Structures are given as structure tokens and as C-alpha cells.
């Protein structure tokens, strides 16, 4: 038997990325949640090449353009290039800065002018991956708060690549208040993250990537090289950009218990969650008689038997393949067809066009266009596929409760053809000037089974006593 049990998840793993899938069911110990719409999700993490990252259910924007191979709006005594190498995300190239001379060599990454970079708590953030083996030996980030070209406040922090230790804050001018700087050590790379508790309004925040020769000076040694990747004008997991800022919501959780990720997790990425909910736990404990409940042999035998005969898989298969018309297959759909009185196998009438002269119009065709008449033909039986049959079943079910006004019949047509007007052309019901006469108009070609369904009054819904014509304008 199964019992409903409350659970509390703490870093509970629910999926592993395959490099292609972005939607995963939320699970606990491999079991799907009962009443997932009532579950409380407090955190979702993804562990991949960036380490274990907290994912956000609110939008984040990376305003660093060309974030993996950035260009620059103001270079100072450096050259910028893309070089071959293994980037932390597995791609084949990284960005490289080389000091050419002068004082305070730096490169400002492209940002949207006067666009504050703040999180939901008011923190201004910036992050960058730097190659541990860069010949420069040091990596620096300076962040300016500017009003146009005027620097109102600025702060600088440098990382010793040999030790992984961040230096003390170096003030270029008035400090950008206090800030926090952290470094995460990843295979071959460091990730520097800076958070400033300041909310710019009329001013912009401009980060600069620097190549210093120490943690107390922005000056760099001529020839020093720094390799870096993935500039982010926010903290959190990396959002790739090209020529424009990119806004992304890390994940959304649906009432059906599905987690939809804004980025496809790389192969091997581990997803975990925290929160609470309920599961249908396989447990025979409530059936134990008290005098046997402490017997390890008896209880293990009962639990093993309970697990062996557990009918949950059969229940799930029945619900999916028979009970739920949206997922039913094969004989399950055949049962639904009998319920709404619509067959799976339909008769496609043979062509009624034959060779003839003017007096035989409108079905007569000229020479070399149609065969001679050779008596009546029976047509062809055609068995609908599951997908086509499902649409027909649902259309018939809707027709059973339809008022058969032009509006409701248009809704039926749009449902049956699954909104294909956007790809195949429009379709609609037309009330003609002739009394008790309507026309189905299709501005796209019909398949043979579609035409057969439309032409048979027993299959396609239509008002009682109203004549129907079909007009196809491919």
C-alpha cells in the first residue's frame, strides 16, 4: 500500500542534465509529488562547471555584451584578442588581454549606458572568470559609478592568481561604499564576484577589467597577459550574450510539478531543490499488527511483498494510456471513441471525377484528365493515427455540447485543425445568403482523411437541417 507523507527537501537531487532537456518533474527520493500545486519550493540549485549555483525565479539581466568574447568601448594600453583554449563552459576560445604599456592598463566591458545593474535586494553585482594560469599573475576589476564621463566613486579589487587570495580594496577616488568580493576556485579557473550595496539612479555602473602587477596598484607590466571569460553584470549563474543585453529567468515552477529552466543544463549538471510537499510513499507499516511490528523478519517480508505487488505502476499506466484522453494511446483511445460515438476507421470515398462532355458537368473532365466511368466504387478505408483520432474525439466531444452558432463552430474548426491557420492558412464557417446553408471555408489544402471527415455528416458536427458545403482555396 501507499501512504501520503509530508516531506521536507534539503538539497534533494531531482534531475541530472543531458545537454538537451530543459523541463524536469520535481521529485523526492525518486517519487513525484502529490498535489504539486501545494508544494513550497524555497530554492533550486544547479551544480555544473560553475560550481553549485542558486537559481532565481525572477528575471536577471546580463548587460555585458559579447560576454564570452567581449569587445571594448574604451581600451587603455592593452590589446584584446580571442585565443584558442578551453573555456570553462567547454567552448573552444577565451578572451585575452595583453598590456602594451602606460599606467593603469584596463578595458571597459560594454554596458548599456546609464542602466543600473542591481539585483532584487538593491545590490550591484559583477562577476568574471579568469584563467588560473594567466601569465599576468594578477587579475583586477575596477567598478566606477559615473555621471557621464565624471567618476563619482570607484573601487578596485585584485586577485593573486598564484594563491587565489583577494587583495584589500584599493580606492581610486571616493569609495563605492563598502562592498563584498568573493572568489570561487573551479578547475583551471577562478570566478570573481563583486557585490556593491548601492542603487544607482541617474548614474551608471561601469566595470573595468584590469591587468595589475600587484593587489595595491592598477599599473600593469608591459607584456603581461590575462585570459578571462564570461563577464556578468550580475551575480549568479552565467548568462551568455552577444551584441545586446540578455534577460533570463533561471527557472519557473508550474502547478503540475514541472521545473522549466531558462537555460538547458549541460550534460551531467545536477539539479537539487529545497522546500516541502507530499509524496505517495510505498509503506506497509500501517498494516502491521502491534504484536508483530517489532519483528525485523516479519516486517521486512511484508515490506518486500508490498513492494513486489505494488500496483502504482499499473495505475499510472492506466491513467496515462486510458483514462486521460490527452495522453491515451491505442485501445485507450478506442474506448474514448466508443464513448463519443466516433470511429477510428473512416471511409475515404473514391474520386467521382470521370471523362465526360458538357452535359455531364460539374463532375466531368476532358481527355487525359480522368478515367471512363466503370460503375460505382466503394472507396478506401483509412485508420486514423492516435494523434489524428484524439483530435477527432475531442472535436466530437465538444460538438456534443456545442450550441452550433457560427462562433462555436469556428471554435470547433480552430480546435480540430489545432490553430494551423498560422501555418497552413485560415479556416472558418461562412453563413451564405442561401437559407439553411453554411460553408466550411479552408484556405489551405486538406489531406484525404480530413476531407473525408468533413464530408461525412456522422463524423463532422453540423446543425440539424442545415446544408453544408466545403470550399477549399489552396
In order, the DSSP letters of 232-260 are: ESSSSS----SSS-EEE--EEE-TTSEEE
CA–CA distances in Å: residue 181 to residues 47, 349, 443 = 21, 76, 62
User: CA 122, 128, 132 angle in degrees (round to 5)?
Assistant: 145
Give burial (CB, 10 Å; 0-12/13-18/19+) of 375. Answer: exposed
Residue extents of the structural domains in the chain: 2-58+249-282, 61-247, 331-472
The answer regarding whether domain 61-247 maps to CATH 1.10.1330 reads no
Model pLDDT, residue 357: 56
**Helix, strand, coil distribution of the chain in percent, nearest 5:** 20, 40, 45
CA–CA distances in Å: residue 209 to residues 138, 198, 265, 314 = 11, 20, 28, 59
Q: Look up residue 192 and give its three cell numbers.
A: 570573481
Model pLDDT, residue 366: 60
Please state the separation of Cα 18 from the chain's center in Å: 14
Give burial (CB, 10 Å; 0-12/13-18/19+) of 83. Answer: exposed
Q: Are 429 and 439 in contact (CB under 8 A)?
A: yes
Model pLDDT, residue 3: 65
Q: Look up residue 317 and give its three cell numbers.
A: 499506466
- Tens digit of each residue's pLDDT, the chain (474 residues): 566 678 899 999 999 999 999 999 999 988 888 888 889 999 999 999 998 999 999 888 887 888 888 777 677 888 888 888 888 888 888 989 899 887 667 776 644 444 444 554 555 678 899 999 999 999 988 877 777 777 777 778 899 999 999 987 766 556 665 677 889 999 999 999 887 665 555 566 677 888 888 888 778 888 999 999 988 877 788 999 888 888 899 999 998 899 999 999 999 999 999 999 987 665 667 777 888 788 888 888 877 887 777 777 777 788 888 988 888 999 999 999 999 888 888 776 655 566 565 555 455 666 566 655 555 555 567 788 888 888 788 878 877 777 777 778 887 777 777 554 456 777 888 877 777 888 888 888 877 777 777 766 555 666 777 878 888 886
Which residue reads 491557420 in cell numbers? 421
Amino acid at each position: 500500500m501507499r501512504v501520503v507523507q509530508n516531506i521536507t527537501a534539503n538539497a534533494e537531487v531531482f534531475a541530472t542534465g543531458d545537454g538537451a532537456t530543459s523541463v524536469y518533474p520535481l521529485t523526492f527520493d525518486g517519487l513525484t509529488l502529490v498535489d504539486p500545486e501545494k508544494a513550497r519550493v524555497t530554492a533550486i540549485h544547479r551544480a555544473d562547471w560553475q560550481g553549485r549555483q542558486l537559481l532565481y525565479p525572477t528575471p536577471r539581466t546580463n548587460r555585458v555584451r559579447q560576454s564570452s568574447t567581449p569587445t571594448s568601448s574604451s581600451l587603455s594600453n592593452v590589446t584584446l584578442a580571442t585565443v584558442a583554449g578551453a573555456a570553462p563552459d567547454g567552448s573552444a576560445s577565451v578572451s585575452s588581454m595583453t598590456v602594451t604599456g602606460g599606467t593603469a592598463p584596463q578595458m571597459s566591458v560594454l554596458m548599456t549606458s546609464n542602466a543600473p545593474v542591481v539585483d532584487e535586494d538593491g545590490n550591484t553585482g559583477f562577476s568574471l572568470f579568469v584563467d588560473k594560469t594567466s601569465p599576468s599573475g594578477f587579475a583586477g576589476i575596477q567598478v566606477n559609478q559615473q555621471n557621464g564621463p565624471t567618476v563619482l566613486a570607484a573601487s578596485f579589487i585584485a586577485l593573486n592568481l598564484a594563491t587565489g587570495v583577494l587583495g584589500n580594496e584599493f580606492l581610486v577616488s571616493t569609495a563605492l561604499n563598502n562592498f563584498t568580493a568573493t572568489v570561487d576556485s573551479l578547475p583551471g579557473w577562478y570566478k570573481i564576484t563583486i557585490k556593491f550595496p548601492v542603487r544607482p539612479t541617474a548614474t551608471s555602473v561601469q566595470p573595468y577589467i584590469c591587468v595589475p602587477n600587484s593587489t595595491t596598484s592598477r599599473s600593469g607590466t608591459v607584456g603581461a597577459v590575462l585570459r578571462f571569460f564570461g563577464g556578468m553584470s550580475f551575480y549568479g549563474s552565467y548568462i551568455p550574450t552577444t551584441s545586446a543585453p540578455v534577460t533570463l529567468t533561471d527557472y519557473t515552477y508550474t502547478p503540475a510539478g514541472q521545473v522549466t529552466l531558462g537555460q538547458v543544463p549541460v550534460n551531467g549538471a545536477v539539479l537539487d531543490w529545497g522546500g516541502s510537499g507530499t509524496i505517495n510513499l510505498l509503506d506497509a507499516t500501517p498494516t502491521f499488527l502491534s504484536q508483530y511490528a517489532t519483528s525485523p523478519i516479519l516486517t521486512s517480508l511484508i515490506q518486500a511483498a508490498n513492494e513486489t505487488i505494488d500496483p502504482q505502476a499499473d495505475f499510472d499506466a492506466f491513467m496515462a494510456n486510458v483514462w486521460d484522453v490527452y495522453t491515451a494511446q491505442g485501445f485507450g483511445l478506442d474506448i474514448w471513441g466508443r464513448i463519443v460515438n466516433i470511429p477510428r476507421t473512416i471511409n475515404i470515398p473514391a474520386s467521382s471525377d470521370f471523362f465526360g462532355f458538357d452535359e455531364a458537368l460539374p463532375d466531368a473532365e476532358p481527355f487525359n484528365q480522368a478515367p471512363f466511368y466503370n460503375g460505382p466504387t466503394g472507396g478506401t478505408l483509412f485508420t486514423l493515427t492516435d494523434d489524428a483520432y484524439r483530435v477527432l474525439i475531442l472535436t466530437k466531444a465538444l460538438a456534443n455540447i456545442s450550441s452550433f452558432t457560427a462562433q462555436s463552430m469556428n471554435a470547433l474548426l480552430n480546435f480540430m485543425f489545432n490553430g494551423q491557420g498560422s501555418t497552413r492558412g485560415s479556416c472558418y464557417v461562412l453563413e451564405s445568403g442561401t437559407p439553411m446553408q453554411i460553408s466550411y471555408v479552408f484556405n489551405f489544402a486538406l489531406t484525404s482523411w480530413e476531407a473525408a471527415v468533413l464530408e461525412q455528416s456522422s463524423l463532422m458536427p453540423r446543425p440539424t437541417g442545415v446544408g453544408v458545403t466545403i470550399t477549399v482555396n489552396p
